[in-house]
Structure 1
Amino acid sequence: MTTVTKTKETVAPQRKAKRPLWMRLRQSPAAAALLFLAPGLLFLVVLRIAPAVSAVASSLFHYSLLRDTTSFVGFDNYATLFRDSDFHQAVLVTLLFNVIINPLQIAVSLALAVLLNQKLAGVRFWRALVFLPIAVPPAVSAVVWDVAFQPNGLINAFLRVFGLPAQPFLTSGSQALWSIMILCSWIGVGYWMMFLISGLNDIPTSLYEASTLDGAGAWKRFWYITFPMLRRPLAFVLVADTVSNFLVFAPVQILTNGGPENATNLAMFDIYRRAFTLGNMNLAQAEVVLLMLVTLVVVAVQFRLLRSKE
């Protein structure tokens, strides 16, 4: 009799199937967040960080058009700027422009936001009307205002109706910068107003109802409820508006070309003039770096002041 012995089969352990990448990302919040942020980070590097690094590097060199050579000069470009009277004028004009226009735009934007956040007849129409200039390209807005500021333009025609003399506006050293401010405010006020209206809508109505029952008037409700609750939106608007006004270029180029007598020679236009009119790209890059540093310092001071008040 033959006995058959069954041998135990040895089965190789099966490897666990590898999950697809998208399933692993779904279970990893950090990886999923990084994946969604990747396009924005890529644009940040390509459009912001890389140009900034390039500007810093280029500002340390000098290109000779006659010899067609590039040489390392260190901080000589910065020293040249600090000795340049046109650069001094550009700095003073830019600072004066920002000191005046930033509070002006924010105050008008806040007033319009509070007004147009009320239950008024046709409030949506008025909001759209105030916001409309931001939908128009800045170059087109500049051309429209250029026509309006002419000696026979709409504004002077309006002044003549009331018996007032015509004003030179863009050809006057004392009025040209104010004319640029009017144009920039016409564009920017409606834009910042919409941010503040959004902040107003986030304030609980129960706070206003309780203050009304306590006998608080409109001014007290604004000062003790609206203004404190709008601190964060106002902080954003203040910083964004400051950066925007440091970078004003198109209105100056189209309306005044930096004149008369450098009265509207803002920093961005001065950079453009050095790079494309004078052909000194390295010196222009040095001014870009200085403008970037000044903007960062101003924004940092604003953040510090706003944080100290919280």
Structure 2
Amino acid sequence: MAPPAPARARPTWRSRLSNNETAVGLLMLGPVFAALVFLRLWPAIAAITHSLSADDAGGGFSLAVYRSLFSDPTFQNALYRTALFSVIVNPFQILLALAIAVLLNRRIALGGLWRTFVLLPVVIPQSVSALIWGVALRPDGPINALLAAIGLPQQGFLTSTTQALPSIIVVVSWVGVGYWTTFLLAGLKDISPSLYEAASLDGASAWQKFRYVTLPMLRRPLLFVLVADTVSNFLVFAPVQILTNGGPQDTTNLIMADIFSRTFVYSDDKGGAAATVILVAVVMLVVTIQFRLMKERGE
């Protein structure tokens, strides 16, 4: 008589989990989903709900805060200054980053050293960069000293109503240009040299190679840089807060600085929440338009 077969051991929960790739993936992504919900979705829903809540005892929803914001000259000025800032700084940073990336992609002397110089501002925290530029742009700072040494009049820079916003643009671009250059340079490295060789055989000039080879092949990195640069410049806060605090005469009062002042200086948390919702809506609208335009040009 044959001996009875040994009883099969019941699989443990660990063995069952290791054999289920979906469960393993969900377990790994669990902390990310939790962080997304508690750090992104929940604050967004709370801001929308709080901005729409009515002040009366009966509760309910109201658009009174939004009507008050859009009729507030300070908020209107913040929207205008942010739009003006974005219209100038986005093309400036992207075009300069593209030019530097094209130059660094060529075989130039001391190419590694130049890449280090371009990327060096990226590793410096934005707040530290703002402090450095704050010293450089002071009325008695080194830049005005240099201007006086060569016989040029001193400039107000951060204390001038006409030069404060351009000065903020320079400070932000000092960091941003190097950062976006890394992505565009990586995209240029992925373009096959055979495309340029074929264009040369067809008698294409340098400009024609750039227009008909480089730009079409660089469309995806350019789209990413365009969208990411737009979002980051809408959210500029530290340089404004450190260097000008929105002044002089609210000429650098960008929308993030206005939200901070409403929420933490004037204790208007409902107005700050409503301004945040408006900012997110504007950013999403601009990004959607950018995606549509880039898609149409790509087709």
Q: Same fold (TM over 0.5)?
A: yes
Q: Structure 1 residue 86 and structure 2 residue 74: aligned?
A: yes
Contact 1:90 1:270 (C-alpha < 8 Å) held by counterparts: yes
For 2:172, the aligned partner's letter is C
Within a 5 Å distance, the mapping from 1:97-108 to structure 2 comes to 97-108=85-96
Contact 1:61 1:70 (C-alpha < 8 Å) held by counterparts: no
Structure 2 CA distance, aligned partners of 1:123 and 1:62?
Answer: 60
> Which string of whole-angstrom CA distances, capped at 9 and with x for unpartnered residues, describes residues 133-190 of structure 1?
1111111111110111111212212222332111101111111000000000001000
Contact 2:81 2:252 (C-alpha < 8 Å) held by counterparts: yes
Structure 1 CA distance, aligned partners of 2:170 and 2:226?
Answer: 18
Q: Among residues 273, 279, 287, which one is paired with 1:285 in the alignment?
A: 273
Query: Cα 1:82–1:126, aligned 2, differ >3 Å: closer, same or farther?
Result: same
For 1:119, the aligned partner's letter is R
Identical counterparts, % of pairs: 50
For 1:156, the aligned partner's letter is N
Q: Among residues 175, 183, 194, which one is paired with 2:171 in the alignment?
A: 183
Cα RMSD after superposing both structures: 2.4
Q: Among residues 259, 262, 268, which one is paired with 2:247 in the alignment?
A: 259
For 2:240, the aligned partner's letter is V
Q: Structure 1 residue 77 and structure 2 residue 77: aligned?
A: no
Where 2:105 maps in the other structure, the secondary structure is coil
For 2:63, the aligned partner's letter is F
Q: Among residues 106, 109, 115, which one is paired with 1:118 in the alignment?
A: 106
Contact 1:249 1:269 (C-alpha < 8 Å) held by counterparts: yes
Contact 1:62 1:282 (C-alpha < 8 Å) held by counterparts: no
Structure 2 CA distance, aligned partners of 1:226 and 1:20?
Answer: 54
Structure 1 CA distance, aligned partners of 2:294 and 2:139?
Answer: 44
Query: Cα 1:77–1:201, aligned 2, differ >3 Å: closer, same or farther?
Result: same
Q: List runs of 5+ in structure 2 lacking aligned partners.
A: none
Partner of 1:52: 44
Partner of 1:3: none
Q: Which has the higher helix share?
A: 2
CA deviation after TM superposition for structure 1 residue 121, in Å: 1.7
Q: Structure 1 residue 219 and structure 2 residue 218: aligned?
A: no
Within a 5 Å distance, the mapping from 1:226-265 to structure 2 comes to 226-265=214-253
Partner of 2:132: 144
> Which string of whole-angstrom CA distances, capped at 9 and with x for unpartnered residues, describes residues 42-73 of structure 1?
22222211211111112123779xxxx99656
Contact 2:54 2:62 (C-alpha < 8 Å) held by counterparts: no
Q: Structure 1 residue 43 and structure 2 residue 35: aligned?
A: yes
Where 2:79 maps in the other structure, the secondary structure is helix
Structure having the higher Rg:
1
Partner of 1:132: 120
